[in-house]
Structure 1
Amino acid sequence: MPTVYVFAVVTLAILSCLSALAGFWVGDLDRLPMQWGLDGRPTWYAPKWIALGFIPVIGVIVMATVAVSHGPGGDGSGVARNMATVGAILVAAEIVYLFMLRRHLTG
């Protein structure tokens, strides 16, 4: 399996696991905050499945775009580097979101 796809699969597995774990600790809440204002209060909410699935779905879209950008020829190291960078950004975004969500839920 080319390195590009390994980075994509690992990143998507991490994002999915983080969202699944968050689904357990948010309990039976129907709606979760999606965005916070400068004062630290949520500005809008979404259903739980959208809130926890948003970044993993964006990850699939972005990673598929990066993966297909790998044209014929070349060793693909540039695309693998791009995929690793995109993966790191997505995982960081998910962690920041879950941190903010946890902080909001615990008061």
Structure 2
Amino acid sequence: MLPADYVFGLAVALVVTFNLYFGPRIGRELIAMQWGRNGEPTWYAPKWFAMWGMVVFMGAVRLFIWLASSYAPQSVHGVELGIVIFSVITAGSHLFVLMKARAAH
């Protein structure tokens, strides 16, 4: 286990906390996932997928990083920094999406 995994674990815990907090506060069954240059949503996802899919996505990416660094270490550089940056960006973007979904309520 890398020291960066503590940041990753914290990010996953934050995403779960965000889901538990914002879930009851989002009344719509579809959540906007991406916005165009005009500020309008370009596509939507079901609420359950938008919220809990992020946890699955984070786990899948971390598994991929582990597999790559275990089986092709010569091709992988900066694993710890990559994990930290990935963790911060995914938790922050997830919070942004959930806050926008709550505001659209």
The answer to whether the superposition gives a TM-score over 0.5 is yes
Identify the residue that residue 61 of structure 1 maps to in structure 2.
Answer: 60
Q: Note the alpha carbon deviations across 1:71-101, whole angstroms, 9 max, x for none.
A: 389xxxx422221111111112112212322
The structure showing larger relative contact order (alpha-carbon pairs under 8 Å, at least 6 residues apart) is: 2
* Structure 2 unmatched ranges of 5 or more: none
SS for the counterpart of 1:69 is: helix
CA contact (8 A) 2:15 2:95 kept: no
- Give me the whole-angstrom Cα distance separating, in 1, the residues matched to 2:44 and 2:88: 26
CA contact (8 A) 1:63 1:86 kept: no
SS for the counterpart of 1:44 is: strand
Q: What is the aligned-residue identity percentage?
A: 25
**Which amino acid in 2 is paired with 1:92?**
G
SS for the counterpart of 1:40 is: coil
- CA drift of 1:15 comes to 1.4
**Which amino acid in 2 is paired with 1:48?**
K
Identify the residue that residue 101 of structure 1 maps to in structure 2.
Answer: 101
Q: How many matched pairs?
A: 101
Identify the residue that residue 90 of structure 2 maps to in structure 1.
Answer: 90
Q: Does 1:79 align with 2:76?
A: no
CA contact (8 A) 2:34 2:42 kept: yes
SS for the counterpart of 1:39 is: coil
Distance 1:80 1:40, change over 3 A: same
* Structure 1 unmatched ranges of 5 or more: none
CA contact (8 A) 2:32 2:101 kept: yes
CA contact (8 A) 1:37 1:43 kept: yes
SS for the counterpart of 2:34 is: strand
- Give me the whole-angstrom Cα distance separating, in 2, the residues matched to 1:65 and 1:92: 21
- Give me the whole-angstrom Cα distance separating, in 1, the residues matched to 2:2 and 2:38: 45
